[in-house]
Structure 1
Amino acid sequence: MSQITLTFDNGPTEAVTPWVLDVLAKYDIRSTFFVLGKNIVEPSNRALMHRAREEGHWIGNHTFTHEVPLGKSTVESACDDEIGRTQSLIGDAAHPDKLFRPFGGGGVVGPHLLSPAACTYLETGGYTCVLWNSISRDWEDPDGWVDTALQQCAHLENALTVLHDYETGAMRNLERFIVRALERGDSFQQAFPPACVPMHRGVRILPMDSFICTPVRAIEGDHQ
């Protein structure tokens, strides 16, 4: 039996997020929505973000554009553009811990997640970095992701599952996932597994080198 923490990335969207909130309310499950800045620019999506907050869900920052992982970005202003701008838009809906989830570019955890500058930005800004240990790739397999997620969670005492509340059709199977998990004895919690939170309020709790790209430096004396 697993304790499952549900999180939703890439929303909010008018087509999907209300449905997700209704399903979660039906089963009295609280989750975290890692929102995109470019989405909450729209007043209707901002309203959905505030609805989620009012219903007891946590709101986190998942960058503004969701286009280039911060560890691969060559834009000098990337931290302000992607993290700071989104946090300003989240405003008073933000969790006190200033939750931030980096863009993984397909759900992979690796050194592409953060640049050294991004890591420093998170530390200085007092952010909490939230990763994951279960990703069913629901965006690729809208009807088959439930089996994948259940299998992943079965091998984890505390699973932090990433789902996506945008238009792929995957979330029409959210209730089926919840029911099957409950039937086999799993439970749902809002808290994050400690192993998935390497930084809390700007303080590194776990080693983070494997999530930060190493800048390429010229080798002294190499003129070839």
Structure 2
Amino acid sequence: MTTLTLTFDNGPVPGATDAILDRLRDRGLLATFFVIGERLLDPAGRRLAERARAEGHWIGNHTLTHTKPFGEYEEPGHAAVEIGGAEALIGDLASPERFFRPVGRGQLGPHLLTPEARDHLIDHRYTLVTWNNVPRDWVEPQRDWLERAIDGMAASERNLIVLHDHCIVEMLDTLDAFLDRMAADGVEIVQAMPEECLPIRRGRVVLPIDGFVGDAAAPGA
């Protein structure tokens, strides 16, 4: 059976994340929300993350500021600030393990991590979450994400899709249409992550990761 894991990035966004939570609640579906740490400094954002956690969704780390991929930074210590700073704000909302998703602009490659970022994830026992279905819901015309997502389902029997709170809220009807199509096609929506999208698991490298790590020298090297 084909499965689909739903993930939503770049929240929590008042007026957006809450509407998505309503839709998921009404359908009895569970997802993972990869949050930007600094958004939790807003009490309204914090309450949304707490609501998501209370309703059974998982909360993951999507960096502190979501500025650019780690591979585009040269400053030593940057990865630790972005990952650790967000995790400190997430605190006990993290579940069921320390999920981390790097900034990637929808593409996999060596821009995702530096050796420093990789080592931080390993040393602090994170689980690195990638993806295999990115329908680019931020690209105009945005509603075309629906067909791209459906086409992307052919990539694997275990799909992990990346959507964005602030984009999807403007077209919740397309989210409904996508979920209806998944049900009609017999796709099971699960919360568990496909193993192929977890190259680091609780600090242990379990899949080849060199393709996600740039060749920048580690601090002190």
* Shorter-chain TM band: over 0.9
State percent identity of aligned pairs: 42
Q: CA 1:172 to 1:43, structure 2 compared with 1: closer, same or farther past 3 Å?
A: farther
| 8 A contact 2:137–2:167 mirrored in 1 | no
Partner of 2:68: 68
Answer yes or no: is 1:118 the counterpart of 2:120.
Answer: no
Q: State the shift of 1:172 in Å.
A: 4.4
Q: State the shift of 1:5 in Å.
A: 0.3
Partner Cα distance (2:173, 2:212) in 1: 32
Partner Cα distance (1:76, 1:41) in 2: 25
Q: Tell me whether 179-188 or 160-169 shows the greater mean CA deviation.
A: 160-169
Q: State the shift of 1:155 in Å.
A: 3.6
Partner Cα distance (1:98, 1:170) in 2: 30
User: What code does the residue aligned with 2:107 have?
Assistant: V
Partner of 1:30: 30
What secondary structure, in the 3-state scheme, does the structure 1 residue paired with 2:68 have? coil
What secondary structure, in the 3-state scheme, does the structure 2 residue paired with 1:135 have? coil
Q: Kindly provide the CA deviation profile for residues 172-213 of structure 1, in whole angstroms up to 9, marking residues without a partner as x.
A: 421111011111211100001100000011000101000000
Partner Cα distance (2:20, 2:210) in 1: 35
Partner of 1:199: 200
| 8 A contact 1:165–1:171 mirrored in 2 | no
Answer yes or no: is 1:95 the counterpart of 2:102.
Answer: no
Partner of 1:84: 84
Partner Cα distance (1:157, 1:100) in 2: 23
Q: CA 1:171 to 1:121, structure 2 compared with 1: closer, same or farther past 3 Å?
A: farther
Partner Cα distance (1:142, 1:54) in 2: 31
Partner Cα distance (2:96, 2:194) in 1: 18
| 8 A contact 2:80–2:117 mirrored in 1 | no
Where does structure 1 differ by over 3 angstroms across 4 or more consecutive aligned residues? none
Partner Cα distance (1:184, 1:96) in 2: 29
Q: Kindly provide the CA deviation profile for residues 65-86 of structure 1, in whole angstroms up to 9, marking residues without a partner as x.
A: 1112112211222123210000
Q: State the shift of 1:138 in Å.
A: 0.5
Partner of 1:138: 137
Which protein is richer in helix relative to its size?
Answer: 2
Structure 2, unpaired ranges of 5+:
none
| 8 A contact 2:58–2:96 mirrored in 1 | no
User: What code does the residue aligned with 1:31 have?
Assistant: A
Partner of 1:214: 215
Across the two proteins, how many residue pairs are aligned to each other? 216
Q: State the shift of 1:28 in Å.
A: 0.9
Structure 1, unpaired ranges of 5+:
217-224
Q: Kindly provide the CA deviation profile for residues 124-172 of structure 1, in whole angstroms up to 9, marking residues without a partner as x.
A: 0010000000000011143111111011113420000000001562444
Q: How does 1:156-195 map to 2 (within 5 A)?
A: 156-167=156-167, 169-195=170-196
Q: CA 1:213 to 1:171, structure 2 compared with 1: closer, same or farther past 3 Å?
A: farther
Larger radius of gyration: 1
| 8 A contact 1:135–1:149 mirrored in 2 | yes
Partner of 2:106: 107
Query: Alpha carbon RMSD of aligned pairs, Å?
Result: 1.6
Partner Cα distance (1:174, 1:81) in 2: 34
Q: Tell me whether 171-180 or 195-204 shows the greater mean CA deviation.
A: 171-180
User: What code does the residue aligned with 1:119 have?
Assistant: R
